[in-house]
Every structure is written in C-alpha cells, then in structure tokens.
Chains A and B, each alone.
Chain A
Amino acid sequence: TQLLEQSPQFLSIQEGENLTVYCNSSSVFSSLQWYRQEPGEGPVLLVTVVTGGEVKKLKRLTFQFGDARKDSSLHITAAQPGDTGLYLCAGAGGTSYGKLTFGQGTILTVHP
C-alpha cells in the first residue's frame, strides 16, 4: 500500500511570509500532483511533476519532485490571504492509468 505523509497538517501565517509544505513517502511514484481545495469545492489541479529532481514554478508557487520520486515540496513566496485553502499532494504509481494516493492535506490560513 502506498502512503503519502503530508506536513504540516495546519499552517497559520501572516501575509507576506514564506512557507513550505512537504509530502513524503517510502514508495516511488511515477508522477506527483498538487491540488488546492476550497470548502465545498473539488480539488483544483495546480501542477503535475513527472521527472525526478524536477522543479516547476507557477508565479509565487514553486514545486519540487525529489530525485528518487518519493517526495515533493510546495513553496509559497510572500503568501497572500487568497492563498488560504487546503493543499493536497497526490501520487500516481502502481497502475498505468494514474490512480492517485492522496496525502491528508495541509490547511493553510494566511492572515491579512
């Protein structure tokens, strides 16, 4: 069984601060996806990383896939209140069709 440990579970910061969310596993994943979910809505895909060591930047968000494809991180620079939400990492592995294993999520609150 593949498991993804996501940390921290809760993060409360002030506007303008930087933060990093971690996603770790003992299993190798063929790809890893990051989602953001708001209350009452489904997860929204932020990025997919597929290559070990890959780094992708999306405005103030930086995503990294570990060299061994077992871990990933999401770094947000100069957080804004609009970044508030639940961040989920999800790994695909063990099947050819992308069955996802999700972490338990990080609830981020950015205070103005």
Chain B
Amino acid sequence: GAGVSQSPRYKVAKRGQDVALRCDPISGHVSLFWYQQALGQGPEFLTYFQNEAQLDKSGLPSDRFFAERPEGSVSTLKIQRTQQEDSAVYLCASSPGTSGLFQFFGPGTRLTVL
C-alpha cells in the first residue's frame, strides 16, 4: 500500500489478556517508531527500530510491553496482561532514513481494556 497500515483498528481486551498490534510500514522505510496517544493528549514515544534492530525502548511503560521487527519490515507491539491504564491509541510511524525528519503515521489501533 501507499501508506502505513495498522491492524486491528480497534481492539477490546479484558484486563489480564495479551494483545498484539501490527504495523505495516511504507515499503523500504528504514525507521519505525511506536507511539502511545492517550485521549486528548499528544503522542508519546514508546520505541524505535532501525531496520530489525531495536535501538531505543526507553518509552515502554513496563516489562509487559514488548516490540519486535524481525525482518526489518512489519512490526508487532505486544502487551501482556493488559491493564486499564493501557487503554489508548497506539500509533506506528515509519521514516525513509535514519534522521526521522519525515515520519509518516498509520491510523492507529485504539485499545480499550475493560
């Protein structure tokens, strides 16, 4: 596709369930970012990949959050034992180079934890 795609678009989970969120970046983009956006707030950085290498995971809120990009393309953000405070929109962005100057965002996955 022409842009960044994310799936599912909406996810409802019961507290304690594990979830997996998928990001398909723009083909050929080296950099991939995950951000978390709470209602009424700006996005907050979670983690960064350069190709398949996870170079920064300083924004992950806890060890329940795990991200991977094994072949340097598709990425998955996994949240184990979901909590209500994990409810947010999870955004993925990709960038063609390593400077991050031009980040193109997907539509996001809205996660609701009941």
Q: A residues engaging B (CB < 8 A)?
A: 4, 6, 31, 33, 35, 40-45, 48, 50, 88, 90, 92, 95-105
Chain A residues with CB below 8 A from B101, complex form: 31, 33, 48, 50, 92, 98
Task: Count B-side interface residues using an 8 Å CB cutoff.
Answer: 28
Within 8 A of A (CB), among B37-92: 40-45, 48, 50, 55-56, 91
User: By the criterion CB–CB under 8 Å, are A97 and B99 in contact?
Assistant: yes
Residues in chain B within 8 A of chain A (CB atoms):
4, 31, 33, 35, 40-45, 48, 50, 55-56, 91, 93, 95, 98-108
Whether B105 contacts A96 by the Cβ 8 Å rule is no
A94 to B41, CA, bound (A): 22
Q: How many angstroms between the C-alpha atoms of A48 and B103 in the bound complex? A: 10
Bound-complex Cα distance A48 to B108 (A): 22
Contact A100 B100, CB 8 Å, known A42-B4, A88-B42: yes
Which chain A residue shows the least CB distance to B110?
A: A40
Given A33-B103, A42-B106, A48-B102, A99 and B44 touching (CB < 8 A)? no
Contacts of A105 in B (CB 8 A): 40-42
Are the CB atoms of B100 and A92 closer together than 8 Å?
A: yes
- The reply to whether B41 and A42 contact each other, CB–CB distance below 8 Å, is no
In the complex the two chains form, what is the Cα distance from A97 to B57 in whole Å?
13
Chain B residue nearest to A92 in the complex (CB): B100
For B31, give its contact among A33, A35, A98 (CB under 8 Å): A98
> Cα distance A10–B105 when bound, in Å?
23
Q: How far is the CB of B65 from chain A (nearest CB, A)?
A: 16
| Cβ contact within 8 Å between A42 and B105 | yes
Of chain B, the residue at the smallest CB distance from A9 is B40
> B33 to chain A: which residues have CB within 8 Å?
99-100
In whole angstroms, how far apart are the Cα atoms of A82 and B4 in the complex?
23
Q: Among B4, B100, B105, which residue has its beta carbon within 8 angstroms of that of A99?
A: B100
The distance in angstroms between the C-alpha atoms of A96 and B93, with both chains bound, is 16
